Structure 1
Amino acid sequence: MSKLQDVFENHKAFIPFVTAGDPSAQATIDQVVALAKNGADIVELGVPFSDPIADGPVIQAAGLRAFAGGITVDGVFDIVKAIREQTNVPLVFLTYANIPFKYGYDAFCARCEELGVYGLVIPDLPEEEADEILTYTEKHNVDLIPLVSPTSGPRLKKLVRYATGFIYIVSALGVTGQRSSFAQNLDDLIADLRKVTDAPLCVGFGVHTPEQAKNLAKVADGVIVGSAIVQLAQDSDDAPKAVGDYTKAMVEAIAEA
C-alpha cells in the first residue's frame, strides 16, 4: 500500500510546494515545518535544476536563489534529514529526470526510502522511458507520480499505468504560475481519469486562492500550490508564519468542498 494513498482516506489533501534551498537550507526546513503544523497533508520539495522546463518565473527564480546558496542534490537530502527530525509530514520530490539519472536511479531511490521521501514527480520523464526508473522506485517503495495534462487524451491509460501514490493533473497548458482560470475540459479530464484509475487525483499549476482550492476540491482529491507559496515566502519578512497562515486558510477552504 502506498504511504501517500493513506493521506487521501476520507480526506481532501492540500499539497504545498517549496524549492529546496531557497534561499537557504534552514529557510526550507523552517517553512516545511510551518506548512506541516498548519495542516499540509503532503509537502512537495522541488530539487533545483539548471533547465527547469515546466517552471514559471517564480519557481525558476527560487531555483537560482538556491543555487546561489550552494544547494546540491546531497544538500537536498540533508534538508530532508533535518525536516525528519521535526515532522513526519509526507514528502515528495519534484525533480527533473537528469538529477536521479546522474545520481544513479538505485542510489537516489534508496536515499528517498531511507529518509522518508514517499514519491517522485518528474515533469520531463516521457511515459515510454518510465520503466527504467520504475524498477528502482518499486524496489525502494517510492511512488512514481505521473503528470497528466488537458491534452493527454487517448494516452491517459498509458500515463496512469504506474500510478500508485497520486496523479498530478496539470490544470492548464504552459508553465507553473498563478492563473485566474483553468482548462475548460478539466472536469471532463478528471471524469475520464476516474474510469481508468483508482489513484487519487490532485490538481496543480496556477492554483493560488482559497476559492479556487475549494472549487477544485469538489471534483479532485487534492490541490497542489507552488508559485503562490514560493512568492509569499520571498515577499515576507517572516516566511514560516506567512506560508503557515496561507496553508491554514487553504486547508479550511478545501475542508468546505
Structure 2
Amino acid sequence: MTLSVSDIFRKLNEKNKCALVPFITAGDPNLKITEKILKILDKEGASIIELGLPYSDSLADGPIIQEAAARALSRGIKFDNVLHMVQNVAQDISSPIVIFTYYNLILTKGTENFVQVINKSGAKGLIVPDLPLEESEELLSLCSKNGIELILLISPTSSLERIELIAKKAQGCLYIVASTGVTGIRSDLNLEIKNLIKTVKRITDKPIIIGFGISNPSQVIQVKSWGVDGIVLGSAFVNKIANFNAETTLVELTSFCKEIKQAIDFVQ
C-alpha cells in the first residue's frame, strides 16, 4: 500500500534523508507514456511525485509547463482520463502521487466530488497554487475526511503572520516557493530563501519542500544544505519529455532522475 505524504517524510526523517519530488504534466505526450514515466520516477528514487493536471490558464507555470499542458489538452486529455491512469498506476508504485491543479478546475468539478474522486484514484496529496488561504477551510476539511493531504504554499513575499497561519493549516508538508513569479529553469537561486527556510523552521516542525527554479544537481546540493526536507524539480523534468522521442526520451529521463537522486543523497 502506498504511504501518505506524511508517512514518507517520517520515514525519510528517521534516515536523515531528503525527498526527491519530481513534477510532470499528465498526458504529455500521452497517458500511456505518463504511466511509464511515473513508474520510472518511482523506480529511480522519487519519494513523492507531483502530477500536474493539464489546464489552459496555469498562471503559476512558466512556458515549459504551460506548453506541456497545451500539448496534452490539444490531444484531448480529460480529467477523467488522467484519474483512470492514476488508478491503474498507483497500486504499482510506492511513491505517493500528489495532484497539482488550479482552483477553478476544482470548483468546476465540485469541491467535494473532486476530492472524493482523486482519493478513489489512489492519489495521496493535492497542491492548488492559486487557492487563497482565506478560502481554504472547506478544501482542508474535505481533504482530511478523504485521506488527501492539502499542501499549502509559502512565497518569498509572505508576511510572518501569514506564514504562521499557513504552517498551522498545512497538511503533509509546507511548500516554499523559491522565487517570485512563475515556474521555470533558473541559473541562480534567490539566496534570501535560505533565511525564509530558517524562519519557517522556527515556526513549525512540519516538513518543508522547496521548488520553482531548481533544475540541476548543483542547485539541488545547494538547496539541500539549507535544511529542507524535500526538493521539487518541475520544468527540468517536463523539459526532458518535450519533443518526445520513443527511442531516447525515456532513457534520458531515467539518466537525469538518477543524476538528481545522487545529488539529493550526496553527503557533504
**Could you say which TM-score interval applies, normalised by the shorter chain?**
over 0.9
Q: Larger deviation: 72-81 or 239-248?
A: 239-248
Alpha-carbon separation, structure 1, partners of 2:157 and 2:181: 11
Cross-structure match for 1:110? 116
Contact 2:90 / 2:123 at 8 angstroms: preserved in 1?
no
Aligned residues: 256
Deviation at residue 85 of structure 1 after TM alignment: 4.6
Alpha-carbon separation, structure 1, partners of 2:261 and 2:214: 13
Cross-structure match for 1:21? 27
- Normalised TM-score (structure 1): 0.95
Alpha-carbon separation, structure 1, partners of 2:68 and 2:38: 15
In the alignment, does 2:237 pair up with 1:239?
Answer: no
In the alignment, does 2:223 pair up with 1:223?
Answer: no
Runs of 4 or more above 6 Å deviation: none
Alignment of 1:31-180 (within 5 A): 31-154=37-160, 155-180=162-187
Alpha-carbon separation, structure 1, partners of 2:68 and 2:244: 14
Q: What are the superposed Cα offsets for residues 53-110 of structure 1, whole Å, 9 maximum, x if unpaired?
A: 0010000000000001111111110120122253232100110001121111212111
In the alignment, does 2:206 pair up with 1:199?
Answer: yes
Q: Which runs of 5+ in 2 are unaligned?
A: none
Q: Which runs of 5+ in 1 are unaligned?
A: none
Alpha-carbon separation, structure 1, partners of 2:90 and 2:104: 26
Letter in 1 for 2:258: K
Contact 2:28 / 2:241 at 8 angstroms: preserved in 1?
no
Letter in 2 for 1:95: T
Alpha-carbon separation, structure 2, partners of 1:141 and 1:104: 17
Letter in 2 for 1:4: V
Contact 1:202 / 1:221 at 8 angstroms: preserved in 2?
yes
Deviation at residue 231 of structure 1 after TM alignment: 0.8
Q: CA RMSD in A?
A: 1.4
Percent of aligned positions that are identical? 37
Deviation at residue 164 of structure 1 after TM alignment: 2.2
Q: What are the superposed Cα offsets for residues 8-52 of structure 1, whole Å, 9 maximum, x if unpaired?
A: 232200000000111211111111111111111111000111111
Deviation at residue 236 of structure 1 after TM alignment: 5.0
- Normalised TM-score (structure 2): 0.91
